[in-house]
Structure 1
Amino acid sequence: MNFEHVVIVNEPENPLLIDLSREQLWFGLLCRAENPRPFLPGLEHCVIVERDDTTLVRDLHFGDTVIRDHVTLEPMEAVTFRSEATEHHAGGSLRISIEEPSVAQLVLRFHYRTTLAERISDPDSPYVEFVKSAYHASDIDTVRVIRMIAESEISH
């Protein structure tokens, strides 16, 4: 399954939204890479097993299930998470990129690639819309958590 959508971060016409800078968005994405617990419900802990300037290898512990993923950082632009396939997890990838479609408007683009099939004839097809909806809700929550991080940084 390929699934892509955007979540609006800054909307100049909406005075109820406090604008975030690209730097604040990037810092929030780095937080998701370094400490994903606030972003991933059910995650008990994360161990970073390797790192260099632009990559992390992490073990994500969900109870007895451990998912290894590889995080690639493109500073101020995007973060890509690629999880390895195991007997308990199908594997896949998520790329989150910061985009600026117009002056003062920022969005995050979420692009998922999974092994879940979208063809009607496939046995997984009834779950596709449910999974897309869950991803979208999770991504809105990601922006909410990034806003909380930015607000806490401002107040300190």
Structure 2
Amino acid sequence: MRFEHLVEINDPLNPLIPSLTREQVWSGLMLRVDEPTVFLPGLERCEILSRAADQVERRLHFGGVQVRDTVTFSPLEWVRFESSANAEHAGGRLTIRLEQPDPLRLYLRFTYETTLPDGGAADGVQVSEFVKSAYRESDVDTVRIIRVLSAGGRPH
């Protein structure tokens, strides 16, 4: 399954939403790399296995399930999370790109590539639609957490 969507960070037409800089958003994305428990419900802990200038190897612990992933990034541009499939995890890739079409607008583009099929119904229900909805909610929550952290708060 491939799924892509945008989350708007800055909307110059809505003064009720404080604008964030590209650097603030990037800092939040890097926190998601180093402290993913803040962003991922159900994640009990994360071990950083190795770190290079543009890559981090991690082991994520979700209860009895362990997922090993590799995070690569280009500062202020994009971050990519890749995990291999195993018996307990389907594997896949998430790329988050910062997009700034003009100085006043800023977006995050989330692109998911998983081993799940794009279509197919289970008991008449499109499973991929549930997954896409969960991804969308998680991504909106990521932006909410970045906003709270940028304002000096602690996420709940």
TM-score, with length taken from structure 2: 0.93
Aligned-pair identity in percent equals: 49
What is the aligned partner in structure 2 of residue 113 from structure 1? Answer: 113
Q: Which ranges of structure 2 fall in alignment gaps of 5 or more residues?
A: none
Give the SS at the match of 1:59. Answer: strand
> How far, CA to CA, are the matches of 2:118 and 2:42 in structure 1?
26
What is the aligned partner in structure 1 of residue 58 from structure 2? Answer: 58
What is the aligned partner in structure 2 of residue 45 from structure 1? Answer: 45
Greater strand fraction, Structure 1 or Structure 2: 2
Residue 73 of structure 1: CA displacement? Answer: 1.4
Residue 35 of structure 1: CA displacement? Answer: 0.5
> How far, CA to CA, are the matches of 1:120 and 1:64 in structure 2?
29
Q: Which ranges of structure 1 fall in alignment gaps of 5 or more residues?
A: none
Residue 22 of structure 1: CA displacement? Answer: 0.3
What is the aligned partner in structure 1 of residue 9 from structure 2? Answer: 9
What is the aligned partner in structure 1 of residue 33 from structure 2? Answer: 33
Residue 148 of structure 1: CA displacement? Answer: 1.1
> How far, CA to CA, are the matches of 1:96 and 1:73 in structure 2?
9
Give the SS at the match of 1:37. Answer: helix
What is the aligned partner in structure 1 of residue 126 from structure 2? Answer: 126
Give the SS at the match of 1:141. Answer: helix
What is the aligned partner in structure 2 of residue 152 from structure 1? Answer: 152
Give the SS at the match of 2:145. Answer: helix
Residue 103 of structure 1: CA displacement? Answer: 2.5
Residue 102 of structure 1: CA displacement? Answer: 2.4
Q: Does the CA-based 8 Å contact 2:49-2:56 persist in structure 1?
A: yes
1:136-147 equivalences under 5 Å are 136-147=136-147
Give the letter for the 2:152 counterpart.
S
Q: Does the CA-based 8 Å contact 2:65-2:88 persist in structure 1?
A: yes
Residue 84 of structure 1: CA displacement? Answer: 1.5
TM-score, with length taken from structure 1: 0.93
RMSD value, Cα: 1.7
Residue 122 of structure 1: CA displacement? Answer: 8.3
CA deviations over 1:98-156 (Å, ceiling 9, x no partner): 00122210000000000111134789x72100000000000000000101111118xxx
Residue 8 of structure 1: CA displacement? Answer: 0.3
Give the SS at the match of 2:24. Answer: helix
Residue 82 of structure 1: CA displacement? Answer: 0.1
Give the SS at the match of 2:100. Answer: strand
> How far, CA to CA, are the matches of 2:56 and 2:34 in structure 1?
8
Q: Tell me how many residue pairs correspond in the alignment.
A: 153
